[in-house]
Structure 1
Amino acid sequence: MRPGTDKRTRLGTAALAAALLLTGAAGCSSKAKSSGDDKPSEGGVKTGKGVTATSIKLGALTDMTGVYASLGKSVTQAQQLWIKQTNAAGGICGRQLELTVRDHGYDPQKALAGYTELEPDVLGFAQFIGSPFVAAAKGRIDGQDKGLVIPQAWSASLLGSASIRTIGATYDIETVNAIGYLLDEKRIASGDKIGHVYFEGDYGENSLAGAKHAAKEAGLTIVEQKIKPTDNDMSAQVAALKQAGVKAVVISAGPKQAASLVGVAAAGGWNVPVVGNNSAYAPQLLATPAGAALQKDYYVAASTLPIGSTAAGPAALAKAYKEAYPDAGLDNGVVAGYTAAGVYGEALKKACTDKDLTREGVTKALLSLKSYDGGFGITHDFSDPKSPSTRQSVIMKPDAQTPGGLKVIKEAAVAPAAQAFTPAG
């Protein structure tokens, strides 16, 4: 699942600066200033941008027309469902919630333009797909804007900010846990070579850092294969890794690349286990020619139970989501979006109790959530911005008979090599 939101090429500093200038994000617009907006409200609750006596406005910067369109749609619809449920239950702090959505199509200029447009009018962002884009806006978010942003991205480069908070293990830790699973199952052992196919940029290179750490701890050798998001045929990578004699493969790319790698390997009679990050899978792959091969020996790591789990949280969400969107498919984007909205909601409730619904008040409230459990298998600690909210990963396997296309084969756990690993934030 996990929205592989940051799976594109890392944007160069000059390109990002140009995009910021084009969108006005790098300017000194008075609209972007947050000082002087705080004001008292009825009941003694302090408020600021995006909050009135009757409403709380949040933004969502998503991808519904680009490379992660299916993910963006699921994440957004799940958040709209959460908003509807929350409002039906009376809202938060006596206010109804509103979600304003902008589709950036995974285009940097559109993403930053969307941020610049919505920022003056919303409290913060319950969704921001694309770690390169979040990183481009980071100076504003941390500096003058201060609105809480929950990205659909898990690069360790986003750690360290009080206002930008990922939910789950970062890609490097997730990769350590995935390799740990193969070690536990004795599919690989000390002295073996393992391949790593990864996107250039934040997502892939952060995953590679985790793979190198796991390899060092276990006495493995990494055989690297860097690719671009536009590389959809993995034939050359499979040939190179097969020739190198690797015993397993890690893929830190998109669903298309994962399907190609597994499908090409199976067609050539090369049978090795393949593990992927949360972003390297989509249930739609099961309907492709690679579907059978994916169900045989492909595994996915993520910091949440899948939507098809029979546990109470996923089961209730799947039922509510299908009722709200009967024509929509189920995937882990639903869980990711709903979880992010739920975390935002908990911060809002705490901020209301503290009588401070300003941006700074909500960010401070999130820091108080040290054992948040949204019902999806993992407890999260948001008290330290420099650390991921969890180091645990669930290991799953594609299964066409399970709603959402993933079944759990190992419950949430932390590999020994991930315990003391420090993400490079």
Structure 2
Amino acid sequence: MSSRTLKRATATATALAALLAVAGCSSKAEDDKGDKEGKGGVKTGVGVSADTITLGVLTDMTGVYATLGKSVTQAQQLYVKQTNADGGICGRKLKLTVRDHGYDPQKAVAGYTELEPDVLGFAQFIGSPFVAAVKQRVDSNKGLVLPQAWSANLLGSPYVRVVGSTYDLETINAIDYLMKEKGLKKGDNLGHVYFEGDYGENALKGSKYMAKKSGLTVVEQKIKATDNDMTAQVAALKKAGVKGVVISAGPRQAASLVGVAAAGKFDVPIIGNNSAFAPQLLGTQAGPALAKNYYVASPTLPIGADTPVAKKLVADYKAAYPKDALDNGVQAGWTAASVFGEALKKACKSKDLTREGLDKALLTINSYDTGFGVTQDFSDPKAPSSKESVILRPDKSVTGGMKVAREPEAAEAAQSYTTGG
């Protein structure tokens, strides 16, 4: 884990404003970037030449989400390689420019500042707090960002588009599963362990909303990204008599929570948001406990899904990266890249590969099937592309280490929920 952590990402507004003020000095205004007509009569601008469409990737290869970042990035590199082999898009080859920010806020903002003047948009940007930190600049620069982040606080801009359900919706769907399938009921206490900051606090909104709707009481346990031992949290939740637990943190924290609970014979179902699992955990001491009592809410079907797209992606990824494990980061990266690619194709048909042309093209995509069970709608910037979640269960015997416990579904409470409310 990086020595700089999520705590720095959620520092005071004054410090963040100062950081952005410095970083923003080198950013160019969109009006200065000289849109022009390119080959084939296609209007082009920043990040697009006669031969190349350059996209940015701001990922985490060395920090708290290093496993996720590697899988997401390699899946997107695979998409680019295959797309280019098929002739590219709009007569141009795709190119990814990758920067590792190590889940460090200063590196994330600096990476955006470095890449933004030279890329059409960003096919990946890991970290809700970091995307939120540059959101005002994204709105000014108009370069599309598809973040690997699902905070509802990112909604509202036509240039930052969340792929799948946001953390609050995902948590509502997760609790709905615990109530329908795992014995949680009205009057019970529900534990919620969550990272301080954008991710965890947005998920907590979902818990509180669902608790109010369903007659539950939420017992909160706020943690930092540096907190890897969940012994104290398990003790507090056990003392409170909770009948189920939501965890909105990283894979390491989830493994500790589940493992400590099992060791202490605290036998309650635990469900995590989509960022709170990595299949590599099944090979650790926590593996048996995860397989028994842990569930994960996901925006789509897992990488090991029984769909043609999933099967082809598994085979292609194994061929390209034979030494690397398959996990849902592969599916997430591929999905984001394919959404970006679909928007590029529509922008090409409209003969407008400028940033504004790309953004307009994405708004026309209202029923896109990525091949992983959930249809995506990007027509409303104020909403995530879906309200559905898939409930997954760890299983080391299946591809990617996750099997489906409940098919894509939006709980009744999720359907009536105003995102971010």
TM range (shorter): over 0.9
- Shift of the alpha carbon at 1:424? 1.7
Partners of 1:42 and 1:107 lie apart in 2 by 40
Aligned residues of 2:6 and 2:103 also touching (Cα < 8 A):
no
- Shift of the alpha carbon at 1:294? 0.3
Counterpart of 2:16 in structure 1 is: 16
Partners of 1:7 and 1:325 lie apart in 2 by 33
Deviations for 1:15-74, whole angstroms, at most 9, x for unmatched residues? Answer: 21232244x32x2x4734444511011211100001111111101011111111111111
C-alpha spacing 1:131/1:186, structure 2 compared with 1 (3 Å): closer
Q: Does the alignment pair 1:350 with 2:364?
A: no
TM-score, normalised to structure 1's length?
0.96
Deviations for 1:222-260, whole angstroms, at most 9, x for unmatched residues? Answer: 111111111111111111111111111111111111111
| Structure 2 unaligned blocks of 5 or more | none
Bigger drift between 39-48 and 358-367 goes to 39-48
Task: Report 1:370-409 matches (<5 A).
Answer: 370-409=366-405
Q: Does the alignment pair 1:126 with 2:135?
A: no
Partners of 1:130 and 1:209 lie apart in 2 by 18
Partners of 1:409 and 1:237 lie apart in 2 by 26
Partners of 2:150 and 2:160 lie apart in 1 by 11
Instruction: Identify which of 35, 51, 73 aligns with 1:54.
Output: 51
Instruction: Identify which of 211, 221, 226 aligns with 1:225.
Output: 221
Give the CA RMSD over aligned residues: 1.5
Bigger drift between 74-83 and 130-139 goes to 130-139
**Residue 279 of structure 1 aligns to which amino acid in structure 2?**
S
Aligned residues of 1:7 and 1:253 also touching (Cα < 8 A):
no
SS of corresponding position for 1:410: strand
Instruction: Identify which of 159, 181, 189 aligns with 1:163.
Output: 159
Partners of 2:268 and 2:403 lie apart in 1 by 20
Aligned residues of 1:8 and 1:201 also touching (Cα < 8 A):
no
Task: Report 1:208-287 matches (<5 A).
Answer: 208-287=204-283
- Between the aligned residues of both structures, percent identity stands at 68
Counterpart of 1:41 in structure 2 is: 38
Partners of 1:318 and 1:159 lie apart in 2 by 31
SS of corresponding position for 1:198: strand
Bigger drift between 9-18 and 293-302 goes to 9-18
Instruction: Identify which of 67, 70, 83 aligns with 1:86.
Output: 83
Partners of 2:386 and 2:362 lie apart in 1 by 15
Q: Does the alignment pair 1:149 with 2:149?
A: no
SS of corresponding position for 2:399: coil
Deviations for 1:295-324, whole angstroms, at most 9, x for unmatched residues? Answer: 001100011111122222211111100101
Aligned residues of 1:7 and 1:204 also touching (Cα < 8 A):
no
Partners of 1:402 and 1:390 lie apart in 2 by 26
Instruction: Identify which of 105, 110, 133 aligns with 2:107.
Output: 110
SS of corresponding position for 1:404: helix
TM-score, normalised to structure 2's length?
0.96
Counterpart of 1:137 in structure 2 is: 134
C-alpha spacing 1:38/1:414, structure 2 compared with 1 (3 Å): same
Partners of 1:8 and 1:408 lie apart in 2 by 36
Bigger drift between 197-206 and 182-191 goes to 182-191
Q: Does the alignment pair 1:321 with 2:317?
A: yes
Counterpart of 2:303 in structure 1 is: 307
**Residue 207 of structure 1 aligns to which amino acid in structure 2?**
A
- Shift of the alpha carbon at 1:146? 0.6
**Residue 160 of structure 1 aligns to which amino acid in structure 2?**
G
Structure scoring higher RCO (CA < 8 A, sep ≥ 6) equals 1
Aligned residues of 1:6 and 1:129 also touching (Cα < 8 A):
no
SS of corresponding position for 2:46: coil
Partners of 1:93 and 1:287 lie apart in 2 by 45
Partners of 1:7 and 1:313 lie apart in 2 by 38
Partners of 1:37 and 1:167 lie apart in 2 by 30
SS of corresponding position for 1:150: coil
Aligned residues of 1:7 and 1:203 also touching (Cα < 8 A):
no
**Residue 106 of structure 2 aligns to which amino acid in structure 1?**
Q
C-alpha spacing 1:171/1:11, structure 2 compared with 1 (3 Å): same
Aligned residues of 1:6 and 1:155 also touching (Cα < 8 A):
no
SS of corresponding position for 1:151: coil
Deviations for 1:240-288, whole angstroms, at most 9, x for unmatched residues? Answer: 1111111111111111111111101100111000011001111111111
- Shift of the alpha carbon at 1:378? 0.3
Counterpart of 1:189 in structure 2 is: 185
Instruction: Identify which of 173, 176, 188 aligns with 1:177.
Output: 173
C-alpha spacing 1:97/1:6, structure 2 compared with 1 (3 Å): farther
Aligned residues of 1:9 and 1:199 also touching (Cα < 8 A):
no
Aligned residues of 1:198 and 1:253 also touching (Cα < 8 A):
yes
Aligned residues of 1:9 and 1:200 also touching (Cα < 8 A):
no
Partners of 1:317 and 1:266 lie apart in 2 by 35
Partners of 1:389 and 1:16 lie apart in 2 by 29
